[in-house]
Structure 1
Amino acid sequence: MATSIRSIKSLVPLLDRVLVQRIKAETKTAGGIFLPESSVKELNEAKVLAVGPGALSKDGERVPMGVAQGDRVLIPQFGGSPVKVGEDEYHLFRDSEILAKINE
């Protein structure tokens, strides 16, 4: 079940959590043809909107996060905690669940 909040800016991830929004697949081809919704698949690519400060190690030291705000990342097809704000849907993942960072 998705959690509903009013503003995404009021959501601050804790510890090693990462707040992401999936990048929507193109619904129009380069030639200008619109694709039906049934043929457009959900991408595993997302944009990082916010990151927590990092988890604590056994020694009590902060473990640095692998991603930063603004990064493009590859996320798993399933998992994460959905967060709904209005019509938009976001996901919270642990830093260790992020599959890869996409460098441009």
Structure 2
Amino acid sequence: MRNSRYMSRALASKDGRFAVVLGKLGHIAPISSRSTGKPQSIDSVPPASCLGLSSNDGQAAAELTSLRAEYQAVVGTRPYHGWNAEALRAKIAEAKEAI
């Protein structure tokens, strides 16, 4: 696997999010003085629930994608990327009332 200075420092940090992302990209954590002597691996990363991710993120993402497509069909422009599902529903309802 790949090893570089920046990635090695990021993987050696206490924040497990670096290990998740960089592990998926093929980077491995080196043995560091802060660790117990074992190199970190993707298996030693905290579960997604500890990182604030839930198991239904896939469903929420699919719903958001369909709402964005509906917004684009109704309004004619792409929605702002920062809007959540509730905001999109409100904007779609507002646009449908205006029609």
- What TM-score do you get using the length of structure 2 for normalisation? 0.23
Q: Which structure has the higher relative contact order (CA within 8 Å, separation 6+)? A: 1
Larger radius of gyration: 2
The normalised TM-score by structure 1 is 0.22
Q: Quick check: which one's strand share is greater?
A: 1
